[in-house]
């Protein structure tokens, strides 16, 4: 979309209202701030508004609307699809908004929209508390929570969004409103799984739970030659997993970048360490592992153990879908894909969705997919832009080959740039209600650089 020119005097006026900063192309910080986690994204906003508070967010939204600029909202900047930035429009960047307050007695935390899971976990773990968050510490709490939010605690405590007690939102018309069970409950419902469609969330209030700080958890890997047996073992092992146990599994390359092809399981048990030792024993005793870090581990360390495999600036292309069943064909296709993989960083992963996350009624929050099963992710990662085509083709071809085993459901937060607006996938039966709520809070679709819900007419 062509973006209009902005008069310098207008920008000066906006700047005068800001404790944060306004950046334009050519400013020294501009390139650093516009860069997202995915190095494939190279958009150049006309203006980056680095907000510090709700008033600045509201002023930025008003400015963008007045000058006809498209708005992109950046929380942690992790989304592979790159919708946190915009070519020629305004990026509302929350990465300076880092305040976190923890009320240990009430088991609540309030965190601003620029906080990452690493920062959040550090603050809450000081009190032996946590809530469900992402498995990589540099991911933003904002996008992850608004889209659902899967993590190791999902079996025991539900998705991140299930633990959202309230949110403060700057709406398209510049109001600052609270959303909770008792305040704007329609907005509260829509925020929990509806993504960034309804406004800019300046802060998130979460319910916390006693966790660790030390739990039985870690990763264990076997050579690719054992991958089929490992994935079948994972399938059977997760069939009887209680809420306290969450496992991920994959085939791909060792996280250290060595290029060694492996099958890997990440596991976390949220109960007594002695129980965890017993329950995780069969994983540790299976086959002949190459390495095994499953041991008493800090919760924050667990949630950064795979960070090394996801550096900022790497080139990422993802495809994902929930599986109807993790059958032997899926397992064979996963292994064959890794055997012919063009990059030494890529892999195919499975997340076990179960327990508390699967028991929430599907109309209780906007997040619709509430079944036990496995979400499959094709994670194509590489560094050399000259190899874009072959790495993208690898992911697309493999994803297509896996298609017959897919459920009719996709996870919003993993959709990439070219995933069409098949919103039945992530929103399903909840779409019509979401469209009504969109029509109430953002009738002109000001917030459309997301997995966009069209306002109902």
Ligand X SMILES: Cc1cc2nc3c(=O)[nH]c(=O)nc-3n(C[C@H](O)[C@H](O)[C@H](O)COP(=O)(O)OP(=O)(O)OC[C@H]3O[C@@H](n4cnc5c(N)ncnc54)[C@H](O)[C@@H]3O)c2cc1C
Nearest approach in angstroms of CB 113 to ligand X is 3
Helix, strand, coil abundance in the chain, percent, nearest 5 = 35, 25, 40
* 392 close to 428: Cβ distance less than 8 angstroms: no
> Per this entry, what is the length of the chain?
457
DSSP-derived secondary structure for 88-121 = SSEEEE-TT---EEEETTTTEEEEETT-BHHHHH
**Residue 148 phi, psi (nearest 5):** 140, -80
Among residues 54 and 244, whose Cβ is nearest to ligand X? 54
Among residues 118 and 289, whose Cβ is nearest to ligand X? 118
Nearest approach in angstroms of CB 72 to ligand X is 6
Nearest approach in angstroms of CB 287 to ligand X is 26
Tokens of 402: 């896996």
∠65-69-75 over CA atoms, to 5°?
A: 95
* 71 close to 61: Cβ distance less than 8 angstroms: yes
Among residues 289 and 373, whose Cβ is nearest to ligand X? 373
Among residues 140 and 276, whose Cβ is nearest to ligand X? 140
Nearest approach in angstroms of CB 451 to ligand X is 8
Among residues 143 and 155, whose Cβ is nearest to ligand X? 143
Rounded CA-CA distance 73/202 in Å is 11
Among residues 57 and 220, whose Cβ is nearest to ligand X? 57
What lies within 8 Å, CB to CB, of 93 at 6+ separation is 33, 48, 49, 50, 51, 74, 114
Tokens of 388: 């874009």
Binding site for ligand X (CB under 6 A): 37, 73-80, 83-84, 94, 113, 134-136, 139-140, 142-144, 146-151, 195-196, 200-201, 310, 413-414, 450
Nearest approach in angstroms of CB 226 to ligand X is 25
Nearest approach in angstroms of CB 112 to ligand X is 9
* 441 close to 184: Cβ distance less than 8 angstroms: no
Among residues 64 and 201, whose Cβ is nearest to ligand X? 201
Q: 271-280: list long-range contacts, CB under 8 Å, 24+ apart.
A: 271/244, 273/214, 273/215, 273/216, 275/216, 275/244, 276/215, 276/216, 276/217, 277/216, 279/216, 279/244, 279/245, 280/216, 280/245
The position carrying tokens 């976190």 is 100
Cα 29 from chain centroid (whole Å)? 26
Q: Is the dihedral of CA 407, 411, 415, 421 positive or negative?
A: positive
**Among candidate residues 217, 224, 231, the one with its CA nearest the CA of residue 290:** 224
* 343 close to 412: Cβ distance less than 8 angstroms: no
- The angle, 0 to 180 degrees and rounded to 10, between the axes of the packed helices 54-66 and 8-16 is 160
Residue nearest to ligand X (CB): 143
Nearest approach in angstroms of CB 151 to ligand X is 5
Nearest approach in angstroms of CB 290 to ligand X is 23
Among residues 204 and 269, whose Cβ is nearest to ligand X? 204
Nearest approach in angstroms of CB 288 to ligand X is 29
Nearest approach in angstroms of CB 92 to ligand X is 8
Nearest approach in angstroms of CB 97 to ligand X is 8
**Among candidate residues 167, 145, 143, 166, the one with its CA nearest the CA of residue 154:** 145
Among residues 289 and 426, whose Cβ is nearest to ligand X? 426
Among residues 265 and 289, whose Cβ is nearest to ligand X? 265
Among residues 154 and 226, whose Cβ is nearest to ligand X? 154
Tokens of 45: 């906003």
């Amino acid at each position: 979309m062509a973006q209009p020119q902005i008069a310098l005097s207008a920008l000066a006026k906006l700047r005068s209202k800001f404790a944060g900063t306004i950046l334009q192309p050519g400013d020294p910080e501009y390139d650093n701030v516009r860069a997202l986690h995915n190095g494939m994204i190279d958009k150049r906003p006309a203006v980056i508004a680095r907000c510090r508070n709700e008033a600045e967010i509201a002023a930025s939204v008003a400015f963008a609307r007045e000058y006809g600029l498209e708005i992109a909202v950046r929380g942690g900047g992790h989304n592979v699809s790159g919708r946190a930035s915009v070519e020629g429009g305004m990026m509302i960047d929350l990465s300076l908004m880092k305040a976190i307050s923890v009320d240990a007695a009430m088991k609540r935390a309030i965190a601003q929209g620029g906080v990452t899971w690493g920062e959040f976990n550090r603050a809450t773990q000081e009190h032996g508390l946590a809530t469900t968050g992402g498995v990589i510490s540099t991911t933003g709490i904002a996008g992850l929570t608004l889209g659902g939010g899967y993590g190791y605690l999902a079996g025991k405590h539900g998705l991140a969004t299930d633990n959202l007690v309230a949110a403060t939102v700057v709406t398209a018309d510049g109001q600052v409103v609270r959303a909770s069970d008792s305040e704007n409950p329609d907005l509260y419902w829509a925020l929990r799984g509806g993504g960034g469609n309804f406004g800019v969330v300046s802060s998130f209030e979460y319910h916390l739970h006693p966790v660790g700080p030390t739990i039985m958890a870690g990763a264990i890997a076997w050579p690719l030659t054992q991958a089929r047996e490992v994935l079948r073992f994972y399938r059977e092992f997760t069939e009887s997993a209680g809420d306290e146990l969450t496992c991920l599994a994959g085939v791909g390359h060792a996280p250290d970048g060595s290029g060694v092809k492996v099958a890997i399981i990440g596991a976390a048990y949220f109960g007594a360490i002695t129980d965890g030792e017993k329950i995780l024993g069969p994983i540790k005793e299976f086959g002949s592992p190459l390495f095994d870090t499953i041991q008493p581990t800090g919760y924050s360390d667990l949630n950064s153990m795979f960070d090394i495999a996801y550096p900022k600036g790497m080139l990422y292309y993802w495809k994902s879908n929930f599986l109807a069943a993790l059958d032997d064909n899926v397992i064979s296709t996963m292994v064959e894909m890794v055997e012919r993989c063009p990059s030494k960083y890529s892999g195919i992963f499975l997340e076990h969705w179960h327990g508390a996350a699967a028991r929430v009624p599907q109309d209780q929050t906007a997040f619709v997919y509430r079944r036990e099963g496995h979400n499959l992710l094709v994670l194509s990662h590489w560094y050399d832009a000259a190899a874009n085509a072959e790495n993208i083709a690898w992911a697309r071809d493999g994803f297509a080959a896996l298609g017959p085993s897919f459920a009719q459901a996709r996870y919003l937060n993993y959709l990439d740039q070219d995933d069409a607006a098949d919103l039945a996938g992530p929103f399903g039966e909840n779409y019509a209600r979401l469209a009504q709520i969109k029509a109430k809070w953002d009738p002109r679709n000001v917030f459309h650089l997301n997995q966009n819900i069209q306002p109902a007419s």
